[in-house]
Structure 1
Amino acid sequence: MKVETNDPRPPYVQVADGLRRAIQSGELSAGTKLPSGRELANEWGVALMTLQKAIDQLRVEGLVYTQRGRGVFVASRDGAPPTDDLSALREVVEELRRRLDVVEARLGSNDGAST
């Protein structure tokens, strides 16, 4: 896919429209990791900043989401990340809660000793 120079739409809009069509048609399904920014920019024949602007537009629309350090993924139809990501997040929150309980218990025992 390449940006059409005779198209009146800005390049980032053309890229966003093309990716949007691929998502809506099911060519890119929920949970699919998009190629890297550089790969997509090369594929579309645009600058990396142009590609980022297109991805930002899709993110605002709820069609994609970013996982820091992992990449950009196609969102589910309701815009939510896949359930397995939510389960992993819950596990992290529970682990942090357990650690906080330990810290609070230690601080509580120190408070009694200093009075």
Structure 2
Amino acid sequence: MSLPEISVTTLNEWLEKDDVLLIDVREQAEWDQARLPQALLLPLSSFDPLAIPDANGKPTVIMCRSGRRSADATQVAMMTGRTPVYNLTGGILAWQAAGLPMIGQAT
């Protein structure tokens, strides 16, 4: 099963249209340091794809620091039938490198 991924540019467009549910699977300390204001925190250490709220037909994007942990979470979400669901390529580091709006600074 191939992993559907999107770029930070696409995510930014979807966020501007309020057309996406964004899930951040980083841990609380990472979230406290830097985050996207529209994201919902569901840390990978306790990730339950059934806890993802109903997206009302909008796509779900899962993100982390670099895209590795969110890829795992995206796979799990897909196995439970969640669609459409995407992994954010490059995670918050790619978002920050693109100069897109966020709270704090990721390291």
User: TM-score, normalised on structure 2?
Assistant: 0.33
Considering fraction of residues, name the structure with more helix: 1
Which one has the largest radius of gyration?
Answer: 1
Considering fraction of residues, name the structure with more strand: 2
